Chain A
Amino acid sequence: MARAAYHHSFEHEHLLSIEGLSPLDISLILDLADNYAEATRAGRRPDPVLSGTTVVNLFFENSTRTMSSFEIAARRLGADVVSMPVAASSVKKGETLVDTAMTLNAMKPDVLVVRHSASGGPKLLSRKVDCAVVNAGDGTHEHPTQGLLDTLTIRRNKGRVEGLKVVICGDIAHSRVARSTTLALHLLGAEVHLCAPRTLLPSGTETWGAASATTDFDKALNGADVVMMLRLQLERMDGAYLPSRREYFRYFGLTGERLALAKPDAIVMHPGPMNRGIEIESAIAEGDRSVITEQVEMGVAVREAVLHLLAGGAT
């Protein structure tokens, strides 16, 4: 039996944030990503829909993981890929983001994948170039492909997103992942609860679509379908935002006992890289409830889908 055909085309020129996408946009990306994930698992090579296109990875912040993920995704679809860890090169010579973008733009790439330490950096760049821009993480603003891969991982494991109770715990204030993932899950009907020490829990999270924001992790875990832990930057732990690492782990670390408060089939997620023993016990990170490596796998699939939609013509 075939699913009823519906047509929704992706009308966005760039992918700069989850904010601004509709639930249909997100479903379209996830469906396509699902196909790519299955193809990879089956050992099938996807159609080279990006053949003849050039994807430039422009990373003003170091990130081997995300840059590799985009690079692999682009190559699988047949694109020519140039990866530039700019953190080490022209920026040191005083060249600005806009200068770098204009220079690259003159080389006529089809997609610029940008990571920048300043919130809104990719947005600024998108105003200055003619090609599609994908935000691969900007400051403490958004990381849309992470939000999408988290949502896809949840959908694959739970068969749905709507109605699920998702708890996201960690440094919410400084997390672009928390913003993108909360927005994406909310758009697909999940109930997202944010949990952090008060000093790392900003006001107004209801505008991201969060159902609640709390400092009581145990209470938040009650009946959760998904538990997502965020990385806590070590420098924020020693007195500036909270008293100590051990105090943080005591109240917000994910242990086996704590996980027992969630539903028996709750899955555990982490965008990586992890601080084992600080936000999450090693045994949990590697346990059978953890889908952390699947998140990495879905990262490639989601990026294939996004690049396809932005530069690969009709689906």
Chain B
Amino acid sequence: MSLSIFNARLLDPATGLDTTGAIFADKGRIREISQGRTTAHAEAKVAIDAGGLCLAPGLVDLRVKTGEPGDEQKETLATASRSAVAGGITSFVVMPDTKPVIDDVALVRFIAERAKVSAATRIYPAGALTTGLRGEAMAEIGLMADAGAVVFTNGDQPVGNASLLKRAMTYAASRGATIMSRPDERALAGSGVMNSGALAARMGLSGIPVEAEWIGAMRDTALAEATGCTLILDQVSTPRTLDIAAAARDRGAKVFTMAAAHSLFFNERDVGDYLTYCKVNPPFRTEETRQGLIAALKRGEIDAVVSAHDPQPPEEKRLPYGEAAFGAAGLETVLPALLSLVHDGPLSLLEALAPVTCRPADMLGLPQGRLAEKALADLILFDPDKPWLCERENLRSRSTNSPFDGRRLQGRVLRTFVGGEEVFAHESLA
């Protein structure tokens, strides 16, 4: 079906385009970008007057957990995708920590198949780096890559054995596979539940020190450098971790970094009265650290911003802080979190969009994330200014453990298109 969206503010972070115009899409791809055009393309079956609002590539999210297979009561690929499109995400990578773990070809195919029949978005499976995520033996990286796994990771349980990780990186490099690893020295992070420091001490909670992340990053980047493997440092939470990545890159290592959107929005004080929705790993850090991350994002030092969507049902969160599960639902709040940095001043719209569109797509060699002729017609139309109150019960994911619950946000997605088909329209348009 052909589609014309006109009188829009066209935003393409890949080229820096920011101008009024129109796009014409047909057969799933963008066919024409008409700068300055404020009228519909006559040949289009569907024509939408954007009224001057923003038209950008759909978001590409490199880190999403669902409960499918095994924990469908938390989230399925379908429910996650419905939440995703409401947040402007049109493609996402699902993590392998499910039951069973996505550690063989059949399971990679299962995810791809389930996504195709049930989900509103494009979904890409990540394969387990080690069998059963046990960190003992490497999984079938080559075969899973051939079956469609776009990246390999041990998810929330980074490989502790450096020797195994080095061999897995060596092997992955030879297959051209990318490894995603969360920098984390387990022995040091221990049983910590929030950012280490004076606040944790006063609240009587055990801390996760920043050194645990730094040591993990030093180890992982050293191994990436030694093996030539492409490495994505998962959920970086401090600027110094980015420095460690940059130093490795300067020596020729292929290292990328990504940060969770919530780590750009919250600091450790938001844990407040032991609010378990704010219990995530890595934890919310100090305000100074958060500001450092924002400055690094502004300088382009964070390659991707992700939702780190981790649905947890009430029974996992309605517990004393120390006992509650880590994880935050995040698919619908990535864009508003980034837009808050635009409204508060530090970022331009294009700077806010690049780490959720073209840059993550490039990291995995995916074609999406751009507004260009022949590109996939994965598009979002959004109002960057629209204020709204984030309320848990209105979120669309099956688990609504969002730290943004009760927050006033600004900027909402109004329409989302995948392959030129509308998959979401905000209720205000009905």
Contacts and interface: CB of A to CB of B under 8 A. Distances in A.
B203 interface: yes
B187 to A, nearest CB: 13
A119 B320 contact: yes
Contacts of B201: 173, 202-205
A203 B198 contact: yes
A116 interface: yes
A202 B201 CA distance: 6
Interface in A112-164: 116, 118-121, 123-124, 138-142
B205 interface: yes
A205 B198 CA distance: 7
A208 B199 CA distance: 10
> Which of B199, B319, B320 counts the most chain A CB atoms within 10 A?
B320
Contacts of A72: none
B318 A119 contact: no
B202 A179 contact: yes
Contacts of B273: 120, 123
A124 B275 CA distance: 9
B197 A118 contact: no
B171 interface: no
B197 A119 contact: no
A203 B197 contact: yes
A118 B203 contact: no
Contacts of B384: none
A120 B320 contact: yes
B250 interface: no
Chain A facing B: main interface SS: mixed
A256 B273 CA distance: 43
Nearest to A173: B201
Contacts of A97: 319-320
A208 B204 CA distance: 12
Interface string B308-331: 000000010011111100000000
Contact of A119 (B198, B203, B315): B203
Contacts of A203: 197-198, 201
B202 A204 contact: yes
A275 interface: no
A118 B315 contact: no
Interface string A55-82: 0000000000000000000000000000
Interface in B48-75: none
A240 B203 CA distance: 22
A98 interface: yes
Interface in A188-212: 202-205, 207-208
A176 interface: yes
Contacts of B320: 97, 116, 118-121, 124, 139
A116 B319 CA distance: 12
Nearest to B198: A204
A142 B203 CA distance: 8
Contacts of A124: 274, 318-321
A96 interface: yes
A97 B320 CA distance: 8
A141 B202 CA distance: 7
A179 B199 CA distance: 12
Interface string B168-204: 0000000000000000000000000000011101111
Contacts of A202: 198, 201
> Which of B202, B273, B321 counts the most chain A CB atoms within 10 A?
B202
Interface in B274-291: 274
Given A116-B320, A119-B320, A96 B199 contact: no
A204 B197 contact: yes
Contacts of B323: 118
> Which of A124, A138, A179, A204 counts the most chain B CB atoms within 10 A?
A124
Contact of A141 (B198, B204, B315, B319): B204
B204 A179 contact: yes
B198 A142 contact: no
Contact of B318 (A98, A142, A179, A208): A98
Contacts of B203: 119-120, 141
A207 B198 contact: yes
A116 B199 CA distance: 20
A139 B202 contact: no
Given A116-B320, A118-B320, A120-B321, A139 B204 contact: yes
A98 B323 CA distance: 12
A204 B196 CA distance: 11
A205 B315 CA distance: 34
Contacts of A207: 198, 202
Nearest to A138: B204
Interface string A170-190: 000100100100000000000
Contacts of A118: 319-323
B263 to A, nearest CB: 22
> Which of B204, B273, B321 counts the most chain A CB atoms within 10 A?
B204
The 10 nearest A-B residue pairs measured at CB: A204-B198, A141-B204, A120-B274, A118-B320, A202-B201, A119-B204, A140-B204, A121-B320, A118-B322, A120-B321
5 contacts: A96-B319, A118-B323, A120-B322, A124-B320, A204-B201
Interface of B: 197-199, 201-205, 273-274, 315, 318-323
Given A118-B321, A124-B274, A179-B204, 6 more contacts: A97-B320, A120-B204, A120-B274, A121-B320, A139-B205, A205-B201
